[in-house]
Amino acid sequence: LTGTSREQRAFQYLLAHAIPGDPHHILQTFDQWCYHCEHLSCVGPDKGRIVERVLLERAPLRVLELGTYCGYGTVLLAQGLPPGARLYTIEGDPQHAAVAEKVIRLAGFSEETVELIVGPSEEVIPRLQEKHGLMKANLVFMDHWKRCYLRDLRLLESHQLLAEGATILADNVLFPGAPHFLQYAKTCGKYHCKVHRASLEY
């Protein structure tokens, strides 16, 4: 009715209520919107704590996010980066990317820290080294289309984009589910697998 998308309405709410340059408050305000106004399929605070814990344990210098959406996960990742680290985030939907770009900058992250790349992941991943300077990722956060998880993991492997000992963190592998990705990760012999139990977003 308003002619604006849910994602744009959420951003207008952020502009009105969030403290610019305060990533933690940006995420809290996002959560308030999603709990009380309209549901968005962001990571949310429950699963967000798992992401924060992994960042703290791993202290990755090069992070790749597949599926920027509104920028919630991007801000969550960026605020947990160690000094000198860089985050590359890929979003296939230009309208979502436009909202995410504003959210990321509102949270106070520059293009030197967070680079948003717009395009289908299967086209962007093969160009990450040559075009964007990402040689090897220490942490990959998958939160895009579940049917793309396995394809994109194989792409990352074939283009040698995973650093030794890299961590792959994949959201919603049980529901709605990414069974082929899970089966591959458990049986290919390249990965140690751990399932984190969590609730859905909100």
The span from the CA of 158 to the CA of 155, in Å, is: 5
Q: Which two tokens stand for residue 158?
A: 């074939």
Active site residue 201: yes
Active site residue 172: yes
Active site residue 93: no
- Which is the catalytic residue, given 31, 91, 101, 143? 143
In this structure, is the dihedral angle defined by the CA atoms of residues 188, 175, 171 and 47, taken in order, positive or negative?
negative
- Which is the catalytic residue, given 171, 186, 190, 194? 171
Three-state secondary structure of 74-96: HHHHHHCCCCCCEEEEEECCHHH
Q: What are residue 88's DSSP bridge partners?
A: 64, 115
Active site residue 171: yes
Which residues are the active-site residues?
Answer: 143, 146, 171-172, 201
